[in-house]
Amino acid sequence: MENESRAHGLDFEAPIVELENRISELRSFSESSEIDLSGQLEELEKKCEEKKKAIYTHLNPWQRVQIARHPQRPLTSDYIKGFVSDFLELHGDGAYRDDPAIVTGLGRIRGRKVMIVGHRKGRTNPEKVACNFGMPHPEGYRKAMKKMRLAEKFNIPIISFINTAGAFPGIEAEERGQAFVVAKNLQGMASLRVPVIAIVIGEGGSGGAIGIGVADRILMLENSYYSVISPEGCAAILWKDASHAPRAAEILKLTSSDLSRFGIVDEVITEPVGGAHREHREMLQRVEETILRHLDEITDIDPDLRKEQRFRKYMDIGRFADQQEQTLEDRG
């Protein structure tokens, strides 16, 4: 895993990757030659940590978008494998087809029953193709809602992992009512009385993301993004040129810290220095703990009150000027 991660190093990570490579070379040389190089290794590791810190504490939005899309970043399936025990995948939307771009199923997190819903991107190339690169068709959203209704019936909390570039823009997707299923999910998730936690683990691509994202708590990994439009799409509209995506990422205010500041996101889950793709185990542990903490906070609320609070939460999102009051409403 770590070697692959290096192979996929991003441009701005090059100095880190270079140090990491030197460390692993030195380590294998030390092991094969039985020469003690622990002093040099320690020094290099220290240097590498410093470099990581220096780079990763000053990431710009576009760099974060790239990290969010990093091929070695933990995926929904990694989180399921990592801390959902007893996972029983439940396929199908009961109407048209099983959409592999969304995975749904029953499981337990430290013994507590949960219904898992999440975008599935796939790791290997054949997997990616099979999952349509995590871009669902209408049947994917319908499947998610079907399983959420099942969870509702049996009072099982829902955990939704968001990681999609967007709902798929295609002929068949439109023929099968992409807009209508996303809308139905937004309405359907507002009707749920069970706890719902949504976590943006990588890409939060517009309608395709929010289509499984109406929740009591919206969490975001530090280097994930959540946006009304992709930086490339925004750049194509504003500058007629997708290569201006870095600038678009800047102005769209799509990072976890922006959205936390806006009050749209309830908590940002810090990533290990160097990004989630470097330390899967650590990342998984942080996500598991954060989910459990939020579950604890919202599980004991009366179901109708919880639903009411979720409704209020969304009703309060928006910023506008109320000219009558002559004050800027600043509600988050």
320 lines the binding site for other proteins (CB under 8 A): yes
Among 2, 190, 270, 299, binds other proteins (CB under 8 A): 190
Which is closer to other proteins, CB of 154 or CB of 314? Answer: 314
Size of the site for other proteins (CB under 8 A): 59
d(CA 330, CA 332) in angstroms, rounded, equals: 6
Q: Which of residues 203-262 bind other proteins (CB under 8 A)?
A: 206-207, 210-211, 213-214, 226-229, 233-234, 237-239, 251-254, 259, 262
Q: Of 311, 112, 104, which Cα lies nearest the Cα of 192?
A: 311
Residue 226: C-alpha distances to residues 157, 213, 219, 284 (Å): 23, 11, 11, 20
Query: Taking the CB of residue 303, how many other CB atoms lie within 10 A of it?
Result: 13
d(CA 232, CA 238) in angstroms, rounded, equals: 10
Among 19, 102, 114, 173, binds other proteins (CB under 8 A): 173
Q: How far is the CB of 110 from other proteins (least distance, A)?
A: 29
306 lines the binding site for other proteins (CB under 8 A): no
Written as one string, the DSSP assignment of 31-47 is: HHHT---HHHHHHHHHH
d(CA 132, CA 117) in angstroms, rounded, equals: 17
175 lines the binding site for other proteins (CB under 8 A): yes
Q: Classify each residue of 314-330 as buried b or exposed e, where b means 16 or more C-beta atoms within 10 Å of its C-beta.
A: eeeeeeeeeeeeeeeee
Q: Choose one: 17-25, 124-132, 289-297, 323-331; the region binding other proteins (CB under 8 A).
A: 323-331
Binding residues for other proteins, rule: CB under 8 A, are 167-171, 173-180, 182-184, 186-191, 206-207, 210-211, 213-214, 226-229, 233-234, 237-239, 251-254, 259, 262, 264, 310-311, 314-315, 317-325, 328-329
